[in-house]
C-alpha cells in the first residue's frame, strides 16, 4: 500500500545502514527490526519523535485514552504539516486485529497474566532456595567430587521416595502410638510393665512375715458351676474403673452383655441364666449403696438364693474381692466428691439386722447435701464416715456392737476393728491397690485364671492430686485416718509380697519346663545312641544277614546336629567323670561289667518315656 505524499516527504529517502551496522539479511523480520532501530537513532525522524508505546494491542494504562485516539506527535521539522493519526499508516488487516485485541483486553486477562508471572517467579525463587539448601547439606560431598546432573536427579529421587514413605506411614498409622512402639522395638527391649509403677524402687523390703498359704492365692473358680465373685466397692478407691473391667474387659466363653445407655450388664454363666458376678455393674446395689463387709456377708446369700429353700441351695463359694487406696488421696477425693453434692444417703448401714439410729450415726449437715463445704469443715465433723472408712467397711462391725460407741472403750474398739479388717483382707480371694494397676491386673489373672483383653492404665493425675495442701493439713488427715494408714501399710506389704511370690513361682515353673524338655531330648538321644551301637555290633557279627537292613531305623533325622554334638560332649564328659570317680574303687586288673551301665540307661530312658 502506498503512503500519502505528505508522509513520504516527511520520511525522506529510504534508510541506509550506517557504517558498522549489520548488513541486510535474508530474514525480512530481522531486517525490519534493524531498520527500525536505525530510524530511532537518526535525529529528526518521525520514528524518533514518536513516544515509545506499549506492545501491540496494549494501552499505556487501563483507563488511558485508546491508541486510536492518540494524535501523531511529529517533530518540529514537520511544522504541523502532518495531522493524520498514526493508525492511518497501518494496513487494514492490522487495524482489524488491533480492534479485536482492544475488545478482548479486560481485567480477567490482566489478572491471569499477573498470576502466571507470579507463579513463575515463585517457582524460580523456590528452585534457588532448594538448590542453596542442598548445597549446604551436601557440601562435603560436592567437595569430594562435583555432582553432575545424574547425581542431582538421583538425590532428588531419594528425597521424593522418603517423603512418599512418610506420607504412606501417616496414612497407615495416623497416630503416634504405633510409630513409638516401632521405634521402641528397634531401639531398646520392652521394659517390664509391672516394674516401678509408683515411681519408687522395684526392690522393696517386707515388714510383715506371711506364710506360704497367705502369699499363694490361687482360687479354683468354676464359672460354669455355682461359685460367685462378690466385689466390695469402697468409695473413691477406683472401684468404678475396676468394676467396668470386670464386665467389659475379661476374656470369657460367654462375655457380659452391656447395652448402650444402661449401667448394668448381664453376666450369665455359659449355658445358664445365672450370674457369676455380684457387683454394681452386674446386679446393681442389691444390698444397698456401697455395702460393707458386714452387710455383704449377710445379704448376698439371701439375695442370690432367696427364692430357694435353704435345703435346696447349692454349696457356693463366695470369693470376695476389693480395691484399696492411699488414705490421704482417698480422703481428699471423697471431700471433692461431697463438695459436688454427693451424699450416699441411700446407704443402709445394716448391722446385726437393723440400721443405725440417728443418735448412733448423726449427720454432719442439715440441708439436702453438703455441697460447697470447705476442707476444714469436712475435717471438723466428728461423725464423718470418711474417717477410717476403709477399716470400717472391711471389718466385722458386729464384734464392736455395730455403731453403738458405748459398748466398749474407743481404744479397744479401734484395735478390734483394725485386727478384723486385716484378717478379712488377708483371707479375701483377692484385693488390689489403686496405685498399682498393672500389678493388680496380674494378680487377679493369676488368682482366678481369667485374662483381661486390654491392660490396665495407671492414672497418676486425679482430682485428689490437684488439691494442694500443706504439711500441717496432711498430718491432720493422717491423724483422722490413722487406722486406714496402718491398714494400707499392711495391705501394701502383703500385696507386693504376693506379687513377688507369684513372679518367682512363674519363673521357677518356666525353668522347670525348660529342664524337662532338655531331659527329654537327652533321653531320646541316649536311646537312639545305644540302639545304633547295638545294631552296629549285630552287623559286625552277622554282616551277610544285615546288609539289606537299615542300620538305624529308629534314628530321628530331624534332630539338629548342634544338639547332637552338645549332647555327645556332655555325655562323654559325664562318663569320664564317672570313670574317674569309680577308678579308685576298682581293682587294677578288673573290668567293670556293662550290665550296670545298660540297666541304669534303660531305667533313665524308661523314666523319660514315662514322663512323656
- List active site positions: 290
Q: How far apart are CA 196 and CA 458, in angstroms?
A: 11
* C-alpha 201: how far from chain center: 24
Distance (Å) of CA 91 to CA 98, 165, 331, 549: 11, 63, 102, 116
C-alpha cell of residue 118? 507470579
Phi, psi of 312 (to 5 degrees): -95, -5
C-alpha cell of residue 279? 457387683
Beta pairing partners, 354: 351
Kindly report the three-state secondary structure assignment for every residue of 240-291.
HHHHHHHHHCECCCCCCECCCCCCCCECECCCCCCECEECCCCCCCCCCCCC
Q: What is the Cβ-side half-sphere exposure of residue 51, based on CA atoms within 13 angstroms? A: 9
C-alpha cell of residue 566? 552338645
Concatenated DSSP letters for 328-366?
HHHHHHHHHHHHTT---TT----BTTBPPPTTTS--S-S
Q: Which string of b and e fits 263-293 if b means at least 16 CB within 10 Å? A: eebebbbeeeeebbbbbbbbbeebbbbbbbb
**CB burial class (10 A; 0-12, 13-18, 19+) of residue 589?**
exposed
- What number of H helices and E strands is found in the chain? 20, 4
- Lateral strand order in the sheet of 228-232: 277-278, 228-232, 318-324, 430-433
- C-beta separation of 431 from 322 below 8 A: yes
Q: What count of residues does the chain have?
A: 612
Longest dimension (CA), the chain: 154
Q: How far apart are CA 107 and CA 473, in angstroms?
A: 77
User: What is the SS3 assignment for 228?
Assistant: strand
Question: What is the residue whose three cell numbers read 513372679?
Answer: 503
C-alpha cell of residue 345? 444417703
Q: How far apart are CA 564 and CA 568, in angstroms?
A: 6
Q: How far apart are CA 610 and CA 612, in angstroms?
A: 5
Amino acid at each position: 500500500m502506498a503512503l500519502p505524499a505528505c508522509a513520504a516527504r516527511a520520511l525522506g529517502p529510504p534508510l541506509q545502514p550506517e557504517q558498522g551496522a549489520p548488513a541486510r539479511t535474508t530474514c525480512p523480520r530481522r531486517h525490519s527490526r534493524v531498520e527500525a532501530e536505525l530510524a530511532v537513532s537518526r535525529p529528526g525522524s518521525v520514528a524518533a519523535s514518536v513516544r515509545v508505546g506499549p506492545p501491540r494491542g496494549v494501552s499505556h494504562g487501563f483507563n488511558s485514552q485508546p491508541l486510536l485516539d492518540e494524535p501523531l506527535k511529529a517533530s518540529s521539522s514537520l511544522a504541523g504539516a502532518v495531522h493524520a493519526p498514526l493508525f492511518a499508516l497501518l494496513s487494514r488487516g492490522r487495524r482489524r486485529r488491533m480492534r479485536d485485541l482492544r475488545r478482548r483486553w479486560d481485567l480477567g486477562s490482566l489478572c491471569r497474566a499477573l498470576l502466571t508471572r507470579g507463579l513463575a517467579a515463585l517457582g524460580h525463587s523456590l528452585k534457588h532456595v532448594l538448590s542453596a539448601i542442598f548445597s549446604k547439606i551436601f557440601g562435603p560431598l560436592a567437595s569430594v567430587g562435583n555432582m553432575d546432573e545424574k547425581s542431582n536427579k538421583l538425590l532428588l529421587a531419594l528425597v521424593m521416595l522418603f517423603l512418599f514413605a512418610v506420607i504412606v506411614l501417616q496414612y497407615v498409622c495416623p497416630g503416634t502410638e504405633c510409630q513409638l512402639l516401632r521405634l521402641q522395638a528397634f531401639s531398646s527391649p520392652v521394659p517390664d510393665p509391672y516394674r516401678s509403677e509408683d515411681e519408687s524402687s522395684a526392690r522393696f523390703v517386707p515388714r510383715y512375715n506371711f506364710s506360704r498359704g497367705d502369699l499363694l492365692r490361687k482360687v479354683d473358680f468354676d464359672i460354669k458351676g455355682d461359685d460367685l465373685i462378690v466385689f466390695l466397692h469402697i468409695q473413691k478407691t477406683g472401684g468404678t474403673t475396676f468394676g467396668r473391667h470386670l464386665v467389659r474387659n475379661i476374656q470369657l466363653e460367654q462375655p457380659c452383655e452391656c447395652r448402650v445407655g444402661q449401667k448394668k450388664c448381664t453376666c450369665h454363666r455359659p449355658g445358664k441364666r445365672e450370674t457369676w458376678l455380684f457387683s454394681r455393674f452386674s446386679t446393681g446395689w442389691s444390698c444397698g449403696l456401697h455395702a460393707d463387709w458386714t452387710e455383704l456377708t449377710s445379704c448376698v446369700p439371701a439375695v442370690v438364693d432367696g427364692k430357694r429353700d435353704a435345703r435346696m441351695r447349692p454349696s457356693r463359694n463366695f470369693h470376695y474381692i476389693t480395691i484399696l487406696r492411699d488414705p490421704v488421696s482417698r480422703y481428699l477425693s471423697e471431700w471433692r466428691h461431697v463438695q459436688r453434692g454427693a451424699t450416699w444417703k441411700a446407704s443402709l448401714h445394716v448391722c446385726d439386722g437393723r440400721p443405725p439410729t440417728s443418735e448412733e450415726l448423726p449427720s454432719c449437715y442439715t440441708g439436702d447435701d453438703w455441697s460447697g463445704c470447705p476442707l476444714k469443715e469436712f475435717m471438723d465433723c466428728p461423725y464423718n464416715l470418711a474417717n477410717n472408712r476403709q477399716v470400717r467397711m472391711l471389718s466385722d462391725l458386729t464384734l464392736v456392737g455395730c455403731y453403738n460407741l458405748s459398748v466398749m472403750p474407743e481404744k479397744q474398739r479401734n484395735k478390734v476393728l483394725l485386727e478384723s479388717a486385716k484378717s478379712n483382707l488377708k483371707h479375701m480371694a483377692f484385693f488390689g491397690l489403686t496405685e498399682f494397676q498393672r500389678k493388680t491386673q496380674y494378680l487377679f489373672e493369676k488368682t482366678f485364671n481369667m485374662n483381661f483383653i486390654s491392660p490396665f492404665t495407671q492414672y497418676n493425675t486425679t482430682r485428689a492430686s490437684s488439691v494442694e495442701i500443706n504439711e500441717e493439713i496432711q498430718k491432720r488427715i493422717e491423724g483422722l485416718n490413722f487406722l486406714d494408714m496402718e491398714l494400707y501399710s499392711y495391705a501394701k506389704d502383703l500385696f507386693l509380697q504376693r506379687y513377688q511370690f507369684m513372679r518367682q513361682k512363674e519363673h521357677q515353673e518356666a525353668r522347670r519346663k525348660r529342664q524337662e524338655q532338655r531331659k527329654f531330648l537327652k533321653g531320646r538321644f541316649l536311646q537312639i545312641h545305644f540302639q545304633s551301637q547295638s545294631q552296629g555290633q549285630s552287623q559286625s557279627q552277622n554282616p551277610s544277614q544285615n546288609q539289606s537292613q537299615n542300620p538305624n531305623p529308629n534314628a530321628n533325622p530331624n534332630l539338629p546336629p548342634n544338639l547332637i554334638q552338645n549332647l555327645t560332649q556332655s555325655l562323654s564328659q559325664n562318663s569320664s567323670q564317672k570313670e574317674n570317680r569309680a577308678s579308685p574303687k576298682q581293682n587294677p586288673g578288673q573290668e567293670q561289667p556293662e550290665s550296670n551301665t545298660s540297666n541304669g540307661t534303660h531305667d533313665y530312658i524308661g523314666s523319660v518315656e514315662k514322663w512323656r
